[in-house]
Structure 1
Amino acid sequence: MGRLNERVAIVTGGARGIGAAVARLFAAEGAAVTVADVLDTEGAELAAELGGPARYAHLDVSTEDDWQKVVAETEGEQGPVSVLVNNAGILEWGTIEEQTLASFRRVIDVNLQGAWLGMRTAAPSLRRAGGGAIVNISSIAGITGYAGIGGYVASKWGLRGLTKAAALELAPDGIRVCSIHPGAVRTAMTADFDDSFTAAQPLPRFGEPEEVARMALFIATEATFSTGVEFVLDGGVTAGPPTTLTAGH
């Protein structure tokens, strides 16, 4: 028996990378999955691959009308939403002085406003489902700082805080809200990075999208006493700088 049998899930940014891994795992565990993305061809192909009750929906997460349409159509076709995975995100480079206002706003609109709109729009559906879980995909950039991607860092710290606020507000309805903070994961976003990028990590490799997907499944099904908390998958990066001690020191 699948751990998500008779559950309905929306996965944003679901056409590829982490989102696609989440959609595949959730479908394998019995969920009716809406793959939501702006990548229409890739998203539709994935939904067809998943088969069964899976469906694709075009969703620009920064647009309220898109969210209302996707949630209404998902509930109408599959039933009330019980799991929402806010995974859609973008990264744009630039120091605080270099990044344009338009670029900064674009990152905030997708990474932070998009998740806020998702929770705001889907919450009534989760109540109708009798409760459920919201999983917000943040980043270790929401735990520490990185130069050259200030807008991204701000959006991921904001999502971390928003997760905690939503967890407090939605707990009375049986809706848990947690954030996942991946480090370097092998996706299109990190395609230009070679293995030297992770060589100094305690676990010196890239993470895989499937590892993040398994954490999302754990939050949705097993972490029933957890809400408003961060789950970190970073190969040990945020544990601290590597240090070797010798006896007597």
Structure 2
Amino acid sequence: MGRLDNKIAIVTGGGSGLGKAISETYAELGAKVVVTDINEENAQMVAAAIGENATAIKQDVASEQGWQDIFAATADRFGTPHVLVNNAGLVIPANIEDCTLEQFRHTNAVMLEGVFLGCREAVRSMKTQSEPCSIINMSSMAALQGYSPFLSYAAAKGGVRSMTKSVALHCKEQNYPIRCNSLHPSGIDTPMVRQEAVGAEGDATPETGMIPLGGLGHPKDVANLCVYLASDESRFMTAGEYPVENGTLHQPQM
């Protein structure tokens, strides 16, 4: 048996990077996966590679109606979901002096309002489930440390961090079968991190073996933790924040 047998999961931003790794790993361990992405072609390729236990849907996570449609389509195809991974994101390089209001609003529409809409629809859908459910929100080390070259990104991820705890506590207070936790990766070897605007360089990160301090993580490093948080093994864990950063948070500054 797989660790995620009979689980139904929605993964946003599932067409590449972390979302792709999470979708593939979930399916390998028995889950049925709805892969959503603003890039429909990428989502379809991921779902096609997984096979009959996955479906792809184009989604703009900033659309309120779009979220309602995603949950309705998931219910029609597989049933009421047990897991939501709010992973979709973007990076716009701009510090406090350079960032425009349009850039700030766009970033937060996708990565903060989008997570709010996803959490709200998930709670409304999952609260009647008889089985444990899990919302996993992708935050960032930027929410724990700050990230001056990417102001709007850090602001959105900081909001996700605190909103996650509020969602978790509400579900606990209402005795809903829903856990909600946030993940806080540092640099992970994904297309978003490799783009010129972010500037990550060096050799591709291997899937196994030790990673040197300061090196990029592999998408599987995040996907494996997402497996645990999606599974019933993490039944006593909610409102938590989990760094995935190879010691970056505690690295001494010379």
TM-score normalised by the shorter chain: which range applies? over 0.9
Question: 1:193 aligned to 2:200?
Answer: yes
Q: Pick from 214, 237, 242: which aligns with 1:204?
A: 214
- Contact 1:7–1:30 at 8 Å: present in 2 too? yes
Q: What residue is the counterpart of 1:180 in the other structure?
A: 183
**Amino acid in the other structure paired with 1:155:** A
Q: What secondary structure is seen at the aligned counterpart in 1 of 2:2?
A: coil
Using the TM superposition, give the Cα deviation of residue 195 of structure 1 relative to its aligned residue in structure 2, in angstroms: 3.7
CA distance in 1, matches of 2:212, 2:43: 35
Larger Rg: 1
- Contact 2:214–2:248 at 8 Å: present in 1 too? no
- Contact 1:92–1:149 at 8 Å: present in 2 too? yes
Alignment of 1:1-249 (within 5 A): 1-130=1-130, 131-171=132-172, 172-191=175-194, 192-195=199-202, 203-221=213-231, 222-241=233-252
CA distance in 2, matches of 1:242, 1:93: 24
- Contact 2:129–2:177 at 8 Å: present in 1 too? no
Using the TM superposition, give the Cα deviation of residue 204 of structure 1 relative to its aligned residue in structure 2, in angstroms: 3.3
Q: What residue is the counterpart of 1:247 in the other structure?
A: none
- Contact 1:141–1:157 at 8 Å: present in 2 too? yes
What are the Cα deviations for residues 1-25 of structure 1, in whole angstroms up to 9, with x where unaligned? 0111111000000000000000000
CA distance in 2, matches of 1:108, 1:139: 14
**Amino acid in the other structure paired with 1:181:** H
Q: What secondary structure is seen at the aligned counterpart in 1 of 2:213?
A: coil
- Contact 2:3–2:29 at 8 Å: present in 1 too? yes
Using the TM superposition, give the Cα deviation of residue 181 of structure 1 relative to its aligned residue in structure 2, in angstroms: 0.3
Q: What residue is the counterpart of 2:208 in the other structure?
A: none
Q: What secondary structure is seen at the aligned counterpart in 2 of 1:231?
A: strand
Using the TM superposition, give the Cα deviation of residue 124 of structure 1 relative to its aligned residue in structure 2, in angstroms: 2.3
**Aligned-CA RMSD value:** 1.7
What are the Cα deviations for residues 39-58 of structure 1, in whole angstroms up to 9, with x where unaligned? 11111011111012210011
CA distance in 1, matches of 2:251, 2:91: 24
- Contact 2:128–2:176 at 8 Å: present in 1 too? no
**Amino acid in the other structure paired with 2:165:** K
Using the TM superposition, give the Cα deviation of residue 232 of structure 1 relative to its aligned residue in structure 2, in angstroms: 0.6
- Contact 2:82–2:134 at 8 Å: present in 1 too? yes
What are the Cα deviations for residues 35-78 of structure 1, in whole angstroms up to 9, with x where unaligned? 01111111101111101221001110000011100111101110
Structure 2, unmatched stretches of 5+, are 204-210
Greater Cα shift, 28-37 or 124-133: 124-133
Q: What secondary structure is seen at the aligned counterpart in 2 of 1:211?
A: helix
Q: What secondary structure is seen at the aligned counterpart in 2 of 1:108?
A: helix
Aligned residues: 240
Identity among equivalent pairs (%): 37
- Contact 2:62–2:114 at 8 Å: present in 1 too? yes
What are the Cα deviations for residues 65-123 of structure 1, in whole angstroms up to 9, with x where unaligned? 11100111101110011000000011101111211111000110111110100011121
Greater Cα shift, 33-42 or 220-229: 220-229
**Amino acid in the other structure paired with 2:177:** G
**Amino acid in the other structure paired with 1:75:** A
**Amino acid in the other structure paired with 1:193:** A
Q: What secondary structure is seen at the aligned counterpart in 1 of 2:234?
A: coil
Q: TM-score normalized by structure 1?
A: 0.92
- Contact 1:80–1:128 at 8 Å: present in 2 too? no
